[in-house]
Structure 1
Amino acid sequence: MEVVIEPPGVIAALVADAVEGLLAAKPEAVLGLATGSSPQAVYDELARRCAAGRLSFARARAFMLDEYVGLPADHPERYRNVIDRDFAARVDIAPGAVHGPDGTADDLPAACAAYEATIAAAGGVDLQLLGIGTDGHIGFNEPGSSLASRTRLKTLTTQTRADNARFFGGDVGRVPRHCLTQGLATIMSARHLVLVATGAGKAEAVHHLVEGPVSAMWPATIMQHHPHATVLVDDAAASRLQLGAYYREVFAGKPAWQGL
């Protein structure tokens, strides 16, 4: 696992560099998209580069990590609409090229199985963008999630609903209780995992992710078993890392040609 400690603006540029390099080598690449505040600066940078003609998503496809269950199709916080607003509508990705689990389906288990099959049929995800919850979840894989899990229905914890209440006018009662999420094994099937975390509120989760034991109590720790995982954090999110100085030294001495 590579740990990069840089200011948020630098983090966004580094992740955009990785996406730009991937698309240059493989224009039909499959991207994994995350919602939340952490990836927003990355989407802003990608939109700027696309507008400037530096990269194109015209032949790319994308898969969303998760979706709320029960929100109407036109709800502004439905993750399909969030991804359209924050990413798809700002770049040149083709209509229909962004896929997500169907949180409005009548048969949710069947929708989850169909989503897994669609990812597999696309050849899997090349680069998966991730954030991390304060309780260590990635996607909506809450503490206690099976490390072998696949896309499925999950019940959100009180902590996650409280954290996400800011997107619902501060009213935790408006945050759905259930979601569909890619499982930890689904996420681990991606060829490159890129996790972004900023702010002191993520420091404890980042500490466990990078330096703690692999445990279902901190689901993101499964990333320690991935052959190509990159964790990018700012100083505040890195404040609990015991080996912070070493991570900075390693990245400073890294050959430029390696990229992330």
Structure 2
Amino acid sequence: MQIYKATDYKDMSRKAANIISAQVIMKPNCVLGLATGSTPIGTYQQLIEWYKKGDLDFSDVTTVNLDEYKGLPRTNDQSYYYFMHQNLFDQVNINPENTHLPNGMEPNSEKECARYESLIHSLGGVDLQLLGLGHNGHIGFNEPGEAFEKETHCIDLQERTIEANKRFFASADDVPKQAYTMGIKTIMQAKKILVIVSGEDKADIVAKAFFGPVTPAVPASILQMHNDVTLVGDEAALSKIPR
């Protein structure tokens, strides 16, 4: 595992964007696995800036997103479809037909999970998967549990995750209780993995996930078993890793 220490969030975003842009330049038709949430926004902003300067071309890039809320229409401003279009897709020259997310409005979980898993395989897998890191060690919506979830599946969101998302919705009742997510096996099949972390509140889980035992109780700990993982974090997030 490679670790890059950034001075702050902006520096972390720039370093992460450097890694993604190198992937796009080296393989213009690459498949990027993308993440949502507050952490990658700065990375996407940097990629947009370089695109606008003429340094990046997304015309042949294909993307697959980690997850999507079940039961939330794409027009809802809290859907990950909406997030990705707002924060990246609508601001670069990517072909909308080459951007993929789970379909949150498909009520048949088994059908949708099989479709999405099949889609990823048909693309030849993910060249570079971007990941954030939850406070409880979740990656995608793979929450702590008894076993590592294998492939794309529908998951019941934990109370802590629902609570964390509550601020984005009109009321707690509006927060989706389920989501479609790539499984641990799907994530681990990516050729390269890029994890980005920022803030002192992530310091404990970074130490636990990357320097503690590999356990389903900390889903991200499985990344220790991958042969090409890069961790980019600011000083605060990396403050508790062993020297």
TM-score range, shorter chain: over 0.9
Match of 1:214 in 2: 214
TM-score (norm 1): 0.89
Aligned residue pairs total 242
**Quick check: 2:11–2:234 contact (8 Å CA) kept in 1?**
no
Q: Give how far 1:236 is off.
A: 1.7
Q: Give how far 1:125 is off.
A: 0.6
Match of 1:163 in 2: 164
Q: Give how far 1:96 is off.
A: 1.2
Letter in 2 for 1:37: S
Deviations 1:54-89 (A, max 9, x none): 011100000000000111231101111111111101
Match of 2:129 in 1: 128
94-103 vs 13-22, which moves further: 13-22
Consecutive unaligned residues in structure 1, runs of 5 or more: 244-260
For 1:96, what is the secondary structure of its paired residue? helix
**Distance in structure 1 (CA, Å) of the matches to 2:26 and 2:59:** 14
For 2:96, what is the secondary structure of its paired residue? coil
Letter in 2 for 1:153: C
Deviations 1:100-153 (A, max 9, x none): 111110312111111011001001111111101111000000001632510001
Letter in 2 for 1:232: V
Q: Give how far 1:164 is off.
A: 2.0
Over aligned residue pairs, what C-alpha RMSD do you find? 1.3
Q: Give how far 1:3 is off.
A: 1.8
Match of 1:194 in 2: 194
**Distance in structure 1 (CA, Å) of the matches to 2:81 and 2:146:** 24
Q: Give how far 1:173 is off.
A: 3.4
Match of 1:184 in 2: 184
Match of 1:24 in 2: 25
Deviations 1:215-257 (A, max 9, x none): 00000001000000011111221222222xxxxxxxxxxxxxx
**Distance in structure 2 (CA, Å) of the matches to 1:163 and 1:156:** 11
User: Are positions 1:82 and 2:83 aligned together?
Assistant: yes
Q: Give how far 1:204 is off.
A: 1.7
**Quick check: 2:142–2:149 contact (8 Å CA) kept in 1?**
no
214-223 vs 195-204, which moves further: 195-204
Match of 1:203 in 2: 203
Match of 2:99 in 1: 98
**Distance in structure 1 (CA, Å) of the matches to 2:173 and 2:208:** 29
Match of 2:57 in 1: 56
Match of 1:256 in 2: none
Letter in 1 for 2:183: G
**Quick check: 1:58–1:93 contact (8 Å CA) kept in 2?**
yes
123-132 vs 8-17, which moves further: 8-17
**Quick check: 1:132–1:195 contact (8 Å CA) kept in 2?**
yes
**Distance in structure 1 (CA, Å) of the matches to 2:96 and 2:57:** 14
**Distance in structure 2 (CA, Å) of the matches to 1:225 and 1:27:** 28
Match of 2:37 in 1: 36
Q: Give how far 1:177 is off.
A: 0.8
Letter in 1 for 2:60: R
For 1:220, what is the secondary structure of its paired residue? helix
Match of 2:175 in 1: 175
Consecutive unaligned residues in structure 2, runs of 5 or more: none
**Distance in structure 1 (CA, Å) of the matches to 2:45 and 2:32:** 16
**Distance in structure 1 (CA, Å) of the matches to 2:149 and 2:26:** 31
**Distance in structure 2 (CA, Å) of the matches to 1:45 and 1:172:** 33
TM-score (norm 2): 0.95
